[in-house]
């Protein structure tokens, strides 16, 4: 059976939420992100894009390009709440959906044309979201996720587009190669150097040519350019989680040791989130004492995968749980309410240097192992001395924990 896949995208989500809160911001150029000169643009309104502004660029540069723009420090908690409202509406309307990020969803509407009409149903759901949230939203509808996502981007702002079965290649052909999901700046420049500008040029090329130029990714890009994608919609499940725990060979009351272990555990789980392009919205700490009584505490937080945001919260929860008069047998941490997404650190609090630091740390970990980069606060002096050394006799990179 031919699939019918819906892609939903909340247009300029952070900007739209800020305009919902303050109507005076309507139609004004708006930047959301770190407000200092070293901050980063998390989102920008359409009015700023004509000046060359885009998300992820330094806020100082964005201000220089568009000096009349209003700059707002984002509130991740507010955005998470708005995202949850939309999620509940989608959950009520469709039997199978995937939350791919804080502001994007996929839904499988296969078979609905026999009973109601997938496009009509998607239209009514979009209108319901707009009516109940006050947020603009666009969607694309086609036979697969890739074409639907491209269709959504072409429909923006605040519109919708259906690509009928069999017209996928002709729809994609005149578009820029940069419109293909997975074609980033570096790949785009490589393809442009080969004289490729439009998707139709890739469609006319043999797949093995793309593979010679870009390796395995070249084959994937060729298939996407031809409208071929069999990626399934992955059911969204808020109970999905990752966790870790440590049982001590000898019960301990050493607070600094316990904190160091919690920091190291949090750091490792956060890296796993970033490696899997996931974000968590709920964290939990567990303590088991020597008498086997077990206590836990959980906290809902804005979506994140950043160590330096998660660690202080974990330590704060530990402080409220810990009874200093009892020996501890086990400590554990769990991250749940996971969603896919690339908002890997808090763009409203952090600078371009922090973004680059996380990228560098994770690059080292991918090459040399999860424990090749560690915070000093997550290690004791004896532990550092005993560590396995992956750097050809050089000591491991140890980062001092930045106090908030």
Provide the strand spans (E) within 91-169. Answer: 97-101, 104-108, 137-142, 160-162
Cα 376 from Cα 298, distance rounded (Å): 26
Is residue 88 flagged as an active site residue?
no
Cα 364 from Cα 182, distance rounded (Å): 23
Q: Which of 95, 70, 68 lies closest to 14, judged by CA?
A: 70
Ligand-binding annotation for 9, yes or no, is yes
DSSP string, 293-336: -EEEEEEEEEEE--HHHHHHHHHHHHHHH--TTS-EEEEEEEEE
Ligand-binding annotation for 164, yes or no, is no
Give CA 349 to chain center in angstroms. 16
CA dihedral sign, ordered 335, 282, 311, 307: positive
Q: CA 283 → CA 92, 317, 322, distances in Å?
A: 26, 10, 17
Q: In 221-248, which positions are buried (b, 16+ CB within 10 angstroms) versus exposed (e)?
A: bbbbbbbebeeebeebeeeebbeeeeeb
Tell me the three state secondary structure of residue 378.
helix
Point out which residues pair with 161 in neighbouring strands. Answer: 140
Q: Which residues contact 23 (CB under 8 A, 6 or more apart)?
A: none
Element (H, E) at 185: helix 185-193
Cα 149 from Cα 104, distance rounded (Å): 10
CA dihedral sign, ordered 203, 204, 209, 214: negative
Of 82, 98, 104, 168, catalytic: 104
Q: Which residues contact 238 (CB under 8 A, 6 or more apart)?
A: 336, 337
Known binding-site positions for Mg(2+): 9, 103
Known binding-site positions: 9, 103
Which sequence positions are flagged as catalytic?
A: 104
């Amino acid at each position: 059976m031919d699939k019918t896949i819906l892609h939903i995208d909340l247009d300029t989500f952070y900007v739209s939420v800020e305009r919902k809160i303050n109507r005076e911001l309507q139609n004004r150029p708006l930047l959301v992100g770190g407000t200092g000169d070293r901050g980063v643009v998390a989102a920008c309104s359409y009015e700023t894009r004509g000046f060359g502004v885009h998300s992820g660029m330094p806020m100082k540069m964005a201000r220089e390009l568009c000096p009349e723009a209003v700059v707002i420090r984002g509130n991740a908690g507010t955005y998470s709440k708005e995202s949850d409202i939309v999620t509940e509406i989608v959950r009520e309307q469709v039997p199978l959906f995937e939350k791919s990020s804080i502001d994007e969803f996929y839904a499988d509407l296969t078979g609905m044309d026999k009973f109601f009409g997938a496009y009509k149903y998607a239209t009514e759901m979009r209108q319901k979201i707009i009516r109940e949230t006050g947020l603009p939203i666009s969607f694309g509808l086609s036979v697969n996720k890739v074409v639907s996502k491209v269709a959504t981007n072409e429909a923006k702002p605040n519109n919708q587009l259906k690509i009928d079965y069999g017209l996928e290649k002709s729809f994609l052909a005149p578009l820029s190669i940069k419109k293909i999901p997975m074609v980033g700046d570096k790949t785009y420049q490589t393809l442009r150097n080969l004289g490729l500008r439009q998707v139709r040029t890739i469609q006319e090329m043999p797949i093995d040519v793309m593979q010679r130029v870009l390796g395995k990714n070249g084959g994937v890009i060729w298939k996407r350019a031809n409208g071929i994608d069999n990626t399934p919609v992955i059911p969204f499940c808020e109970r999905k989680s990752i966790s870790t725990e440590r049982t001590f060979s000898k019960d301990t009351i050493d607070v600094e040791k316990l904190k160091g272990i919690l920091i190291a555990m949090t750091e490792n789980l956060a890296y796993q989130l970033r490696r899997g392009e996931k974000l968590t919205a709920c964290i939990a700490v567990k303590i088991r004492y020597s008498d086997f009584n077990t206590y836990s505490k959980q906290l809902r937080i804005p979506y994140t995968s950043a160590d330096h945001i998660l660690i202080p919260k974990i330590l704060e929860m530990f402080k409220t749980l810990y009874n200093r008069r009892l020996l501890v047998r086990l400590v554990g941490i769990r991250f749940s309410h996971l969603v896919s997404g690339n908002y890997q650190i808090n763009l409203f609090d952090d600078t371009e240097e922090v973004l680059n630091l996380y990228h560098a740390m994770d690059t080292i970990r991918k090459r040399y192992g999860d424990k090749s980069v560690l915070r000093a606060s997550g290690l004791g002096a004896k532990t550092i001395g005993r560590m396995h050394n992956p750097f050809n006799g050089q000591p491991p990179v140890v980062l001092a924990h930045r106090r908030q």
